[in-house]
Structure 1
Amino acid sequence: MWAGAAALLTVPAIAMRFTAEVQWTASDFVVMGVMLAAACGAFEGLLRAGNGAAYRIAAALTVFGVFFLIWVNLAVGIIGSEDNDANMMFAAVIATVIGGACIAHFQPRGMARTLLAAAVLQVLIAAVAVIGRFGSVESVNWPKDIIGCTGILTAFWLISAALFARASRS
């Protein structure tokens, strides 16, 4: 897993040699390296906290969901562009997942509740953003980008919650 993360970090470096469309700075590599290290560490920790296929798949989806939420917000933003301060509302989802996991001591029943709360919060934030017109309303993709990304992340949270619930019964 760690070697895969390191290899993934080399992709933009290689791409930069062949195309001008990939423009990463040193800070981009540092941020992505920290994100990949945190994701790998979190996944390893969750694997040690539980056993069984349902728990492991739920853990992988949870870690990927948090990673994806952070990455999308840093790269392009969910609400408008990455410079839109309204994207900071999604930090509440990340805090819910991390805080809830710690409070639940990574036990499957508590993790299921945590991921259900994350799904509800994800939808509420998107609703506030759309109703409040916090995004780029002049954009062709308004509000499809918020709704689509919210749908994907909510699916991650709900599938993870269901798998953690299943793991708690076994």
Structure 2
Amino acid sequence: MNSEHNIKQAITYPAIATAALLMIPLIAMQFSNDVVWTLSDFIFAGIMIFGTGFTYKLVTGKSGNVAYRVAVGFALFTGFFLIWSNLAVGLIGSENNEFNLLYFLVIGVGVMGAFIARFKAIGLMITLLSMAATQAIIAIAALFSGMAEVPESSAYEILAVNGFFVTLFVVAAMLFRYAAEEQASENE
């Protein structure tokens, strides 16, 4: 019974949040010609929003550690924001620039690292630092491969946008470090 309730809760809350967030562009479309979403936009956004919320509920479901829950939320939000902005406008040039596909490596490092770390705080700290390093390597590769010459992109923009995401991943890593220290002090 309790397990069934937890599963329903893990699905219900993200589903309600997803529906509420999708109402924003739906309502905006009624009043502005600047917001134009297709059915596939709503489906993709719904999958991303629900998937992020559901993942949060699954990963933090049994954790009473507030720092861990905050760290998981911050890390998931950062990954979500990376994917969303990359698909919406692209981090290098436009969203159609194939170089932007490399940013999915950052997410892949995160997913693999989380499973390898078994979702333990100290392992997730290392994972987030690895994601930050991957993001930085992609930025360096973009600069050395001439992506700063692509229209809608400059060396400053590449460094600023990637530096922003590197910073977010490092902050998430430090939140996991704090959560690990908190768990260790609770176990003493």
Whole-Å Cα distance in 1 between the matches of residues 88 and 149 of structure 2? 16
Q: Which has the larger radius of gyration?
A: 2
Mean Cα deviation higher: 45-54 or 105-114: 45-54
Q: Does 1:106 align with 2:147?
A: no
| Counterpart amino acid of residue 62 in structure 1 | A
What's the TM-score, normalizing by structure 2?
A: 0.84
Q: Which moved more, 1:53-62 or 1:126-135?
A: 126-135
Name the aligned partner's letter for residue 177 of structure 2.
A
Match for 1:12: what amino acid? P
Provide closer, same or farther for how the CA distance between residues 85 and 135 of structure 1 changes in structure 2, counting only shifts above 3 A.
Answer: farther
Query: Which residue pairs with 2:173 in the alignment?
Result: 161
Matched with 1:80 is: 93
Amino acid at match of 1:145: E
Cα distance per residue 1:70-105 (max 9 Å; x no partner): 101110110111101100111110000111001111
In the TM superposition, what are the counterparts of 1:1-170 in structure 2 within 5 Å?
A: 1-2=13-14, 3-48=16-61, 50-134=63-147, 137-139=150-152, 142-170=154-182
Quick one: percent identity of the two aligned structures?
Answer: 36
- Residue 136 of structure 1 deviates from its aligned partner by 5.3
Between 1 and 2, higher relative CO (CA 8 Å, sep ≥ 6) is seen in: 1
Q: Which stretch has the larger CA shift, 47-56 or 155-164?
A: 47-56
Q: CA deviation at 1:135?
A: 5.1
- The 3 A distance-change label for structure 1 pair 62 and 103 is same
Give the superposition deviation at 1:42: 1.1
Q: 1:79 touches 1:136 (CA, 8 Å); kept in 2?
A: no
**Is contact 1:49–1:107 with CA below 8 Å preserved after alignment?**
no
RMSD: 1.5
- Gaps in structure 2 of 5+ consecutive residues: 1-12, 183-188
- Give the 3-state SS of the residue equivalent to 1:80 in structure 2: coil
Asked if 1 retains the 8 angstrom alpha-carbon contact of 2:67 and 2:175, the reply is: yes
Query: What is the total number of aligned residue pairs between the two structures?
Result: 169
Report the TM-score when normalising by structure 1: 0.92
2:89 maps to a residue whose letter is: V
Kindly provide the amino acid, as one letter, of the partner of residue 29 in structure 1: F
